[in-house]
Amino acid sequence: MIIIGLRFVIVTGLLFFCQELCFMQQRSVVRVINNTNEELNNVMIYATPFGQIKPNDSTAYVTVINKDSEAKNPMLYLTCRNINMGSYVSLPKHMDTVYFLINEVKINKRLIEFKQIIKQDSIK
């Protein structure tokens, strides 16, 4: 009987601990828009894959988890014409919708020119 009670206490404690970790993670809803005439492949933001984006097309809205304290991959990665490219990005510290408008990809310089638009959600 004591072992069952002890298991209950341990499991309950773990659930509360995991819940706190979930609240510490920052979440943003992200959409990537390709305003170029190039096909973009292997698009990733914060290690979240967005896949392939055709010219003048966009991705679906994807929820990206940004562990602010760990920030392992604060980058926008993509491949264009078999050339890997990346650029540092930042996500807001609270729940927002973020649009990344990729306006130009300079293959010879491995440069991604983009604009980041943040739409603050009304519910905080």
- Average pLDDT (95-101) is 87
Give the list of residues 6+ apart from residue 20 with CB closer than 8 angstroms, or none. Answer: none
What are the structural domains, with CATH classification, of the chain?
26-120 (2.60.40)
For residue 25, pLDDT over 50 is answered with yes
Residue owning tokens 């190039």: 38
| Angle value at C-alpha 63, between 57 and 56, nearest 5 degrees | 5
pLDDT at 117 over 50: yes
Residue type for 76, please?
Answer: L
Q: What pLDDT does 71 receive?
A: 54
Name the maximum alpha-carbon separation found in the chain: 70
Residue 93, both tokens: 């510290």
pLDDT value of position 123: 45
Mean pLDDT, the chain, whole residue set: 79
Residue for token pair 């959409």: 31
- Does 112 have pLDDT greater than 90? yes
User: What pLDDT is attached to residue 121?
Assistant: 63
Residue 96 parent element (H or E): strand 96-106
What pLDDT is recorded for position 69? 43
d(CA 63, CA 61): 7
Q: What percent of the chain has pLDDT over 90?
A: 43
Run of H or E residues at 4: helix 2-24
Two tokens, residue 104 = 């130009």
* pLDDT, average across residues 77-86: 93
Residues 6-27, mean pLDDT to the nearest whole number: 56
Work out the average pLDDT over 25-29.
Answer: 73
